[in-house]
A and B are shown apart, each in its own frame.
Chain A
């Protein structure tokens, strides 16, 4: 029992790596159920009119949480592209524009027109104050990330404040995040808003989804995988789900073995 209680931490690490790497190399194809909160986001985008609606995407995450959120961003942008819906990217996190640019590079390679189909307005500092400023005046950001005048961009025509967007979606990984959007744009202005959050934040976002302040919610990497399933375009989310399954099983196994060893060693004493 003592041996079990004092397993070298590096053995635990190796077991975890094997459990995660194996299904990445040899996918198991475990089926995935879709959450209501994911279906809600999908339904909103399906209900938009490509001729009139422009979507605002707020890229409020960086490389540290990209593993959880970037697949969500890819899936949402793929859905918008599939439906021919224009989008505007903005960021209230300093790394956000770099994340948006990763998607824009792919879209431009596929023939998408920057400025007409999508745009990256870049980062605006100031957290919640910046969100409020942008909510009441979408032209408060004078130029986009490439130096074009915001007011002259074709995709920005007819957009004065956040309510002029058909739908606002935030990829949130911390502060400022979805709560700041709710405080400054959703509750005072009635903006139609949903968010994709890191898995760690899902628990905290549930009350806002329940109250209707969030119209939909993508729950971390699993949310991305579910969304990929709904739009029929598999991506990084779906590919990671098998590894996630085995990883969870291994951690549960660690908890059970650890407790088993703990109780039997206590009984012996």
Chain B
């Protein structure tokens, strides 16, 4: 064991341990750490926001004479009118601007990228062939699952037609596929959370205690 003598490493370790103390039970040390965490994050974001306003707004306005930038600076200030009683409606203008931008930017591109392009990627030949021309059974089976599976799941999500008869059977198949999808997602969530914990244990055991 080679315990670190660096003050910052100790600060890091204490921060990790104070948050993890919640696992034993709710306690004042955790509460304090939680509040410090929220404060630090909010302060960092606020500082970064000031930096962006300065870099993208204030500097070009003053050095390049981009006077049109007065408009977003004004809109930005108007956002804070929501904290002034009786003037909250003023903040609707910048919100309307941001929403308009988001909607306009994604209306077509999202449908194209996630709708059409994904649908196009599913329009594949079910019968896959090897380079020598023979049928590739495994890949053909996969292609069948991809094409029919997509239609089955989409059928499951169509609520405007009654789920009866053949539609019900198809959508039931879609439901099974969705269960597998959720199972795979759960498996990945477990892996992801374990990875985050491993990183913190590495910090404690390696940087702090020096046993790795």
Contacts and interface: CB of A to CB of B under 8 A. Distances in A.
- Note whether A and B contact each other (Cβ less than 8 A): yes
Interface of A: 10, 13, 16-17, 20-21, 24-25, 64-68, 70, 94-95, 122-125, 128-129, 132, 141-143, 179, 182-184, 186-188, 198-200, 202-203, 207, 210-213, 220-222, 236, 239-240, 243-244, 247-248, 251
A16 to B, nearest CB: 8
Interface in B107-124: 109-110, 112-114, 117-118, 120-121
Contacts of A202: 188
B202 interface: yes
Interface string B51-92: 110011001100000000000000000000000000000000
Given A182-B113, A184-B109, A248 B196 contact: no
Contacts of A221: 191, 195, 198-199
Contacts of B102: 128-129
A183 to B, nearest CB: 4
Which of B101, B118, B184, B194 has most A Cβ within 10 Å? B194
26 contacts: A10-B24, A17-B201, A20-B198, A21-B201, A24-B206, A65-B196, A68-B192, A95-B44, A122-B55, A129-B102, A143-B55, A183-B109, A183-B112, A184-B109, A186-B113, A187-B117, A188-B109, A199-B195, A207-B118, A210-B121, A211-B120, A212-B121, A221-B195, A236-B202, A248-B190, A248-B191
Interface of B: 23-24, 44-45, 48-49, 51-52, 55-56, 59-60, 101-102, 105-106, 109-110, 112-114, 117-118, 120-121, 181, 184-185, 188-192, 194-202, 205-206, 211-212
Nearest to B116: A187
A200 B189 contact: yes
